[in-house]
């Protein structure tokens, strides 16, 4: 069940007996810089093939199953697609040397390039070993390839990429929806995290009350300045 918007403010008023005054929400209105939204269905960084491969891997790392939705439903791949044009695209291990020298053999310069190399390697391996695009393979065949990735057995996939994609998939599933993942709070619903609030009712810390997810981002509360994606 979704709570009505603005409940947090009401909670605060109920809890403190004081309406939220101007003093508490200074400057945020003019200081907020809304990140450029990416239209539904469009990609920000990855190619469509890269995205499909990535999304399929994410959906095996945190699958949708009898225990609820997974990384695909949480749009972890979208989080990664957005982030690779921003905060996730830091220099990777084995980054380009001083003066822009070419990376050493087997290394790539940025996380974006690491993704490009890895997703291409996985796709090529899927076609050569299983005869089809990774995204079109059966879950069992996909799992076999993810296991190979974890064991560094995919030819030409950058070393350590499994840890990178696992970390990002977890972030994309369980971090604030502001960053493009955790769509509609699905990730938080998986672990029964009831959501970001600015004030929490007393009964939400009790054991006999069923917690309802509020499906809100921190930035649905207008007191906080938005950061960069």
For residues 56 and 136, give the distance between their C-alpha atoms in angstroms, rounded to a whole number.
9
Q: Give the burial class of 98: count Cβ atoms within 10 A of its Cβ; 0-12 exposed, 13-18 middle, 19 or more buried.
A: exposed
- Binding part of the chain for other proteins, among 33-41, 99-107, 124-132, 167-175 by CB under 8 A, reads 167-175
For residues 166 and 160, give the distance between their C-alpha atoms in angstroms, rounded to a whole number.
10
Q: Which of 1, 4, 17, 40 binds other proteins (CB under 8 A)?
A: 17
- Binding part of the chain for other proteins, among 33-41, 64-72, 127-135, 151-159 by CB under 8 A, reads 64-72
Q: Which of 115, 123, 190, 215 binds other proteins (CB under 8 A)?
A: 190
For residues 71 and 76, give the distance between their C-alpha atoms in angstroms, rounded to a whole number.
5
Closest residue by Cα to residue 24 from 12, 15, 35, 14: 12
Residue 91 touches other proteins, criterion: CB under 8 A: no
Contact positions with other proteins (CB under 8 A) in 115-144: 143
Could you count the other beta carbons within 10 Å of the beta carbon of residue 91? 13
Contact set with other proteins (CB under 8 A): 12, 15-18, 24-28, 31, 60-63, 65, 67-68, 70, 87, 143, 146, 150, 166, 170-171, 174-176, 178-179, 187-188, 190-194, 196-200, 202, 204-208, 211, 218-219, 223-225, 227-228
């Amino acid at each position: 069940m979704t709570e009505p918007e603005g409940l947090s403010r009401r909670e605060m008023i109920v809890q403190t007996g004081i309406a939220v005054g101007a003093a508490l929400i200074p400057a945020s209105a003019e200081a907020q810089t809304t990140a450029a939204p990416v239209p539904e269905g469009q990609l920000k960084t990855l190619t469509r093939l890269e995205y499909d491969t990535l999304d399929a891997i994410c959906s095996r790392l945190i699958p949708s199953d009898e225990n609820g939705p997974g990384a695909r439903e949480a749009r972890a791949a979208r989080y990664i697609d957005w982030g690779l044009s921003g905060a996730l695209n830091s220099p990777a291990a084995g980054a380009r040397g001083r003066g822009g020298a070419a990376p050493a053999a087997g290394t790539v310069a940025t996380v974006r390039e690491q993704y490009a190399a890895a997703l291409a390697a996985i796709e090529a391996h899927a076609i050569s070993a299983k005869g089809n695009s990774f995204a079109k393979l059966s879950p069992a065949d996909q799992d076999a390839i993810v296991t190979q990735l974890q064991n560094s057995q995919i030819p030409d996939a950058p070393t350590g990429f499994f840890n990178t994609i696992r970390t990002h998939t977890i972030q994309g599933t369980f971090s604030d929806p502001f960053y493009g993942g955790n769509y509609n709070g699905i990730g938080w619903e998986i672990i029964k995290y009831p959501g970001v609030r600015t004030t929490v009712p007393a009964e939400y810390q009790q054991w006999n009350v069923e917690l309802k997810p509020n499906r809100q981002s921190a930035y649905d509360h207008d007191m906080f300045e938005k950061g960069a994606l």
